[in-house]
Structure 1
């Protein structure tokens, strides 16, 4: 049984698998183990000290909400990132997904640090992944609570859920939606309707980076470009096949502000 579990684990999309594992391990170590939270929160001043603490650019996205969020946050991060990695037509290559994470994550950090002062940003990244994943599922239906809604409205249903259950997390979630919409405009809307090229082209060095480690050499799924003649099934790649778990949003915090609740 353990060998089957490990086989399934290693067969999962590598970036989604890595992100979910990093969130789970970091959160367990921070809440129950030897990892001080002061080592992983984001503080721009620590990026310029010697030696620069550059890991904070990544670890600030790896701390989940407490309690049930330790399981649910990695699950949702894996769910939506795996859809981008395996079946979203915007991301033809693995390096495109990695560039998405870098640019969207950077947008979330900048906006939060300027306007909100947050130190941890995972909930913003999760809703950004959700927003991007469901944009190409227009016309499909998905269950949220006891309601069936168009798949592309799931991020806004999440906001409504937070409004009723935990309003403090809404500003961080909004920055995630803004980040995903900004990325969509720069890479899809502007080329399609503005007649230009992508304003956020994937750097060439990322192609060399993702092709070097063996962990990135597998292929997962097929991305179909719009207009390729492939028939549409009218289904999402995973988000629309089941209910969004409402209890997950009850455990989400307010961006984990240092010194706050």
Structure 2
């Protein structure tokens, strides 16, 4: 039985599996006081210490909300990331999805701390951003949110509404995440397509070098075929690489979210 569970676990998409597991394990260790919250929360002054505590840029996203948040946050994180990792043409390569997490997470921190002056843990903002990205192209599709059926693109705003009711102080972190997702979409899709400009948040080459995705990636949850590069096609076809598509989730805590899809 345990071997079947582990086989099912390892068969899941790796990025979604890794992040959801990290959130759950970190949150449990924090609750049982095996690690202090002081080690992982974010504040900009830690970045100017010697040596700079840069790990806080990542660890602040690994703390689930109180109560059922310890289960729901990792679950919904996994659900949305799984949909982006396996069914969204914008993220055909693993490095593109990882760069999305880096840029949207960074924008969430920047907006929340620099503009709104709030937040030490930002998982709630990342969850809202994932929900927006996963549902933005699902116009006309109906999905379940708690006990209601709503248009898929309305899910992030329903999540904000629940936050206003059950944890008002967290609303600013989640609004920051929503703004970060909007900004990412504008800079990577709307501006290049309708403004004629470049993709301002394109995945850097060093990220692609660090995380190499095979040309054809066979996996138990699907097959991904990365678009050929100009070098691979001889650079004369004029073909360009492509991206975009999604799904839904939610939960709550010090900047987290609760809901259903």
Same fold (TM over 0.5): yes
Separation in 2, partners of 1:218, 1:116: 45
Determine the structure 1 residue equivalent to 2:38: 38
Separation in 1, partners of 2:145, 2:26: 29
Cα shift at 1:253: 2.7
For the residue of structure 1 that corresponds to 2:150, the secondary structure is strand
Separation in 1, partners of 2:25, 2:177: 23
Q: Decide whether aligned partners of structure 1 residues 77 and 195 sit closer, same or farther in structure 2, where only a CA change above 3 A counts.
A: same
- Aligned pairs for 1:67-86 (under 5 A) are 67-86=67-86
Determine the structure 1 residue equivalent to 2:15: 15
Determine the structure 2 residue equivalent to 1:48: 48
Q: Which runs of 5+ in 2 are unaligned?
A: 227-244, 257-261
Separation in 2, partners of 1:169, 1:133: 22
Separation in 2, partners of 1:223, 1:154: 27
Structure holding more helix per residue: 1
Separation in 1, partners of 2:177, 2:162: 16
Determine the structure 2 residue equivalent to 1:178: 179
Determine the structure 1 residue equivalent to 2:63: 63
Separation in 2, partners of 1:127, 1:66: 17
Q: Which runs of 5+ in 1 are unaligned?
A: 226-235, 257-261
Count of residues in correspondence between the two structures: 234
Determine the structure 2 residue equivalent to 1:99: 99
RMSD of Structure 2 on Structure 1 (CA): 2.3
Q: Report if aligned partners of 1:23, 1:64 keep a CA contact under 8 Å in 2.
A: yes
Q: 1:124-170 deviations in whole A, cap 9, x for unaligned?
A: 00110010001122221101233211101100111112222222221
Cα shift at 1:171: 1.1
- Aligned pairs for 1:203-242 (under 5 A) are 203-211=204-212, 219=219, 220-221=221-222, 239=248
Q: 1:151-210 deviations in whole A, cap 9, x for unaligned?
A: 011001111122222222211111111000000000111111112231111101111211
Q: Report if aligned partners of 2:121, 2:254 keep a CA contact under 8 Å in 1.
A: no
Cα shift at 1:237: 6.1
Q: Report if aligned partners of 1:31, 1:66 keep a CA contact under 8 Å in 2.
A: no
For the residue of structure 2 that corresponds to 1:149, the secondary structure is strand
Q: Report if aligned partners of 1:28, 1:70 keep a CA contact under 8 Å in 2.
A: yes
Q: Decide whether aligned partners of structure 1 residues 104 and 238 sit closer, same or farther in structure 2, where only a CA change above 3 A counts.
A: closer
Moved over 6 A (4+): none
Q: Given the two structures, how large is their TM-score scaled by the length of structure 1?
A: 0.83
Q: Decide whether aligned partners of structure 1 residues 149 and 86 sit closer, same or farther in structure 2, where only a CA change above 3 A counts.
A: same
For the residue of structure 2 that corresponds to 1:148, the secondary structure is strand
Q: Decide whether aligned partners of structure 1 residues 112 and 238 sit closer, same or farther in structure 2, where only a CA change above 3 A counts.
A: closer
